[in-house]
Structure 1
Amino acid sequence: MDKEFMRDKFNLLFLDMEGKNYRRSLDVIFNENSESEAETDADVEAGRSYGWIHARFILTGLGMELMYKKFQNCNFGTCSGAFCRWRNVLPIGMSDTPGNEMVRHYCPI
């Protein structure tokens, strides 16, 4: 993901309402924390925050372009269906709630 997108405060509007340690989790994402390497609550919150930021990023023009390139390069795998002939697949999230559902593959055929 583009770091400039993550650093632009406009792109992060209203995300601070969803996490309790939002500013601290941004420090963890950018490796600007001075704590030990042990997993803390801030690390878990940073993972959630990164997911929310990533979800916004892939809806931008640059994000869609990068996702399309990954799709073309078969970074997400292929479909093993009988009629699909190993077509490229896309990842799809079935829920917006972290940990609620696993990521699945979508075959566009």
Structure 2
Amino acid sequence: CGRPRSGRRPPPPAAPSPSRPPPPPPNPKLSCALKLTSLCAGVGGAAEQLDSDSSEGGSAGGSSEADDTFWINWFCAMRGNEFFAEVDDDYIQDDFNLCGLSAQVPYYDHALDLILDLEPVQGDVFADDQNELIVASAEMLYGLIHARYILTTKGLAAMLEKFKNCDFGRCPRVSCSGQPCLPMGQSDIPRSSTVKIYCPKCEDLYYPRSKHQISTDRSI
């Protein structure tokens, strides 16, 4: 018999694939740390949101407080108005204390409403130039009321406190050693002249040092 025909060698049997090792058991410490990190991130985000809301609320509250500023407080706090004391609303609302002022001040009723922070009468519409005149009239009217108020007991006490705080300035004379001064006017006629400061030590008059105070009406 002849030799058998040669054929292809059969492929070797495939090696068994190695099985994957089972996953390690979860680390309780690592799991706890991840949960804690996630919790802190959530709390931090909530805290940032709370801070943002608080800041917005604070800014809203600040703007609300700014909107609640009364006209008298605003006017007396303006630069150059340090000579003015805050007049009580009760004094201004007493018509007896305002006798004769309506003839001296244009737009008297509207100026008085502005000083007392009263709502304008419905239907009153003014142009920009008229509104400026009303504001100027309110400042003039307040000055005339102030001139009467500082002659009362409360007004004198308010001016004394400002004198002690040197709100009116000091005497420029060296020999007076910084003596506090008082504002003084020599005329009761509005717009006739400007205010001076009086030194009770040397008994002389001086111009205020601040350029904003030089233009203050002497009649106040």
User: Does the alignment reach a TM-score above 0.5?
Assistant: yes
Q: Give the match for residue 113 of structure 2.
A: 27
**Deviates most, 19-28 or 65-74:** 19-28
Whether 2:91 is the aligned partner of 1:5: answer: yes
Q: Give the match for residue 144 of structure 2.
A: 52
**Deviates most, 51-60 or 25-34:** 25-34
Distance 2:94 2:116 in 1: 13
Identify which of 90, 93, 101 aligns with 1:15: 101
Aligned to 1:74, the other structure's residue is in SS state coil
Aligned to 2:105, the other structure's residue is in SS state coil
Identify which of 182, 192, 197 aligns with 1:90: 182
Distance 1:93 1:104 in 2: 6
**Which structure is larger by alpha-carbon Rg, 1 or 2?**
2
Unaligned runs of 5+ residues in structure 1 are none
1:46, distance to aligned residue in structure 2 (A): 1.3
**Deviates most, 57-66 or 10-19:** 10-19
Unaligned runs of 5+ residues in structure 2 are 1-86, 202-220
Q: TM-score, normalised by structure 2?
A: 0.45
Task: Spell out, residue by residue over 1:43-91, the C-alpha distance to the aligned partner (whole angstroms, 9 max, x if none).
Answer: 1211111111101100111101111111111111111212211100001
Contact 1:94 1:102 in 2 (8 A): no
Total equivalences in the alignment: 108
Distance 1:20 1:72 in 2: 36
Distance 1:15 1:102 in 2: 20
1:33, distance to aligned residue in structure 2 (A): 4.7
Quick one: which amino acid aligns to residue 93 of structure 1?
A: G
Give the percent of matched residue pairs that are identical in Structure 1 and Structure 2. Answer: 37
Quick one: which amino acid aligns to residue 85 of structure 1?
A: S
Distance 2:103 2:172 in 1: 41
1:92, distance to aligned residue in structure 2 (A): 1.0
**Deviates most, 94-103 or 81-90:** 94-103
Identify which of 165, 181, 197 aligns with 1:105: 197
Q: Give the match for residue 15 of structure 2.
A: none
1:40, distance to aligned residue in structure 2 (A): 2.1
Quick one: which amino acid aligns to residue 48 of structure 1?
A: M
1:19, distance to aligned residue in structure 2 (A): 2.3
Quick one: which amino acid aligns to residue 24 of structure 1?
A: H
